[in-house]
Amino acid sequence: MPVFEYKGLDHSGKAVKGKTDGDTEKIARSKLRRQGIFPTQITEQLVTQKSGSALNLKGLFKRISVNDIAIMTRQMATLAKAHVPLIDALVAITEQVENDRLKLVMTDVREQVNEGASLAQALSKYPDIFSNLFVNMVKAGEASGTLDQVLLRLADFTESSVRLKNKVVGSMTYPILMIVIGSLIVSGLFIFVIPKITAIFSDMERALPLITQIVVRISEIMRSQWYMVLGGIVAILYVIRKILRTPRGKQKFDMVILKVPLVGRMVRILSISRFASTLSTLLQGGVPLLSAMDIVKNVIDNHVLKTAITKARENISEGESLAAPLRESGEFPPMVTHMIAIGEKTGELESMLNTIAQTYEDEVNTTLTAMTTLLEPLMIVTMGAIVGVIVMAILLPILDLNNIAG
């Protein structure tokens, strides 16, 4: 159904604007008049659809964030729990959504459902907005008649993912900001300060100390050959990017990352937390284990861990357990594989996975705190060492001049 953007006056004469829908502009105007709004300008919001991709919305460039999806899912879950019919729930959602792009998407979803499509089928047309996990959960909920429960689990899962992402981003923002500021300060010293100070050494007949020569040379390169330095950095980043785009290169890189102290542990526990929470959510939503494993392996970024999960999926298809191949990979901690094995034996795999997810989410918080606690003094010491080297490079020739004068 087309969506129209309007400007008009309400019953008190106050200027109002917003969006409404209708099969034609005339129907949209009649709808607004029934609401007590007299439209002075009404324009259809152009929408085009590409196969296999999200909407291309003319004039609407606002990104749909995970938080927007989380809020919308919680609202749908609340309406479903209150036994509001699906079409009525989608009408309410369309009116409540604040993101203009998501509003148009949900308008189209509502229209598809109204024409006989299932909710999962309608959502699947927008894979850039609704993930494979989201669509499969909704599909399982519709098939089992437990859509309200599935939406509640999806809302919890999406909100949990948002909280975890915000914690990681929030914890790393300060260290990254400090690195950027520190790099700018050091660059400023080399480009502007050192040349002026070291100019007094140009007439010295004595050889400068090695440390001074190195600092002066770095300063000269940064001033006169900055384009080469910049080009070198760009070239290195380009080569790294090309390597990471190859399966073998990404595999090697992820393997190295997992071995880096503290950072590797952080990547591992984040991946395990995502694996456990996603698989638990899918199984509780009624998605079969094999289908769930196909989805889960695509939400893990690290190729080493993804390979282990793929191998586990193959073993499950052959009638074996989930825990055994994860244990054999050596990439999952013993506690995780033991709890999964117990869950499989007792028939409580979903609850065990949920416990693992909660445990590792707590560990993510602890590790993030430890990382930021260590990074701050480490950056201060590093900055102090760099400034100390620069000061030493400047002071040594001055002290040498004093000795000569004495």
| Boundary (domain end) residue, out of 159, 190, 219 | 159
Whole-number pLDDT of residue 48: 44
Whole-number pLDDT of residue 398: 78
Q: Are residues 116 and 173 in the same domain?
A: no
We report the CATH number of the domain holding residue 107 as 1.20.81.30
Q: Are residues 389 and 264 in the same domain?
A: yes
In whole angstroms, give the CA distance from residue 258 to residue 268: 7
In whole angstroms, give the CA distance from residue 123 to residue 14: 38
Q: Are residues 238 and 192 in the same domain?
A: yes
Q: Are residues 177 and 309 in the same domain?
A: yes
Whole-number pLDDT of residue 401: 66
Q: At what angle do helices 210-224 and 226-244 cross, to 10 degrees?
A: 80
Q: Are residues 114 and 192 in the same domain?
A: no
Q: Are residues 301 and 332 in the same domain?
A: yes
In whole angstroms, give the CA distance from residue 355 to residue 273: 10
| Boundary (domain end) residue, out of 159, 180, 204 | 159
pTM of the model: 0.66
In whole angstroms, give the CA distance from residue 39 to residue 30: 9
CA distances (Å), origin 314, targets 6, 132, 286, 353: 55, 20, 20, 20
State pLDDT tens for residues 93-106. 988 888 888 888 89
Q: Are residues 284 and 380 in the same domain?
A: yes
3-state secondary structure the chain: CCEEEEEEECCCCCEEEEEEECCCHHHHHHHHHHCCCEEEEEEEECEECCCCCCCEECCCCCCCCHHHHHHHHHHHHHHHHCCCCHHHHHHHHHHHCCCHHHHHHHHHHHHHHHCCCCHHHHHCCCCCCCCHHHHHHHHHHHHHCCHHHHHHHHHHHHHHHHHHHHHHHHHHHHHHHHHHHHHHHHHHHHHHHHHHHHHHHCCCCCCCCHHHHHHHHHHHHHHHCHHHHHHHHHHHHHHHHHHHCCHHHHHHHHHHHHHCCCHHHHHHHHHHHHHHHHHHHHHHCCCCHHHHHHHHCCCCCCHHHHHHHHHHHHHHHCCCCCHHHHHHHCCCCHHHHHHHHHHHHHCCHHHHHHHHHHHHHHHHHHHHHHHHHHHHHHHHHHHHHHHHHHHHHHHHHHHHHHHHHC
| Boundary (domain end) residue, out of 97, 128, 159 | 159
Q: How many domains does the chain have?
A: 3
Q: Are residues 278 and 402 in the same domain?
A: yes
CB 379 within 8 A of CB 182: yes
Whole-number pLDDT of residue 26: 77
User: Residue 179 falls within a domain, yes or no?
Assistant: yes
In whole angstroms, give the CA distance from residue 20 to residue 31: 8
User: Which residue bears the tokens 């992820």?
Assistant: 254
User: Residue 7 falls within a domain, yes or no?
Assistant: yes
Q: Are residues 214 and 333 in the same domain?
A: yes
User: Residue 50 falls within a domain, yes or no?
Assistant: no
Q: Are residues 377 and 236 in the same domain?
A: yes
- Low-confidence residues of the chain, pLDDT below 70? 1-2, 21, 45-62, 203-206, 401-406
User: Residue 368 falls within a domain, yes or no?
Assistant: yes
CB 178 within 8 A of CB 379: yes
Give the range of the structural domain holding residue 84, as residue numbers without chain letter.
56-159
Those residues with Cβ within 8 angstroms of residue 359's Cβ, 6 or more apart along the chain or in another chain: none
User: Residue 51 falls within a domain, yes or no?
Assistant: no
Whole-number pLDDT of residue 406: 53
Whole-number pLDDT of residue 53: 39
φ, ψ dihedrals at 260, nearest 5°: -70, 130
Q: Are residues 184 and 314 in the same domain?
A: yes
Q: Are residues 173 and 310 in the same domain?
A: yes
Computed from CA positions of residues 143, 146, 147, 152, in that sequence, does the dihedral angle turn out positive or negative? negative
Per the prediction, the chain carries an average pLDDT of 83
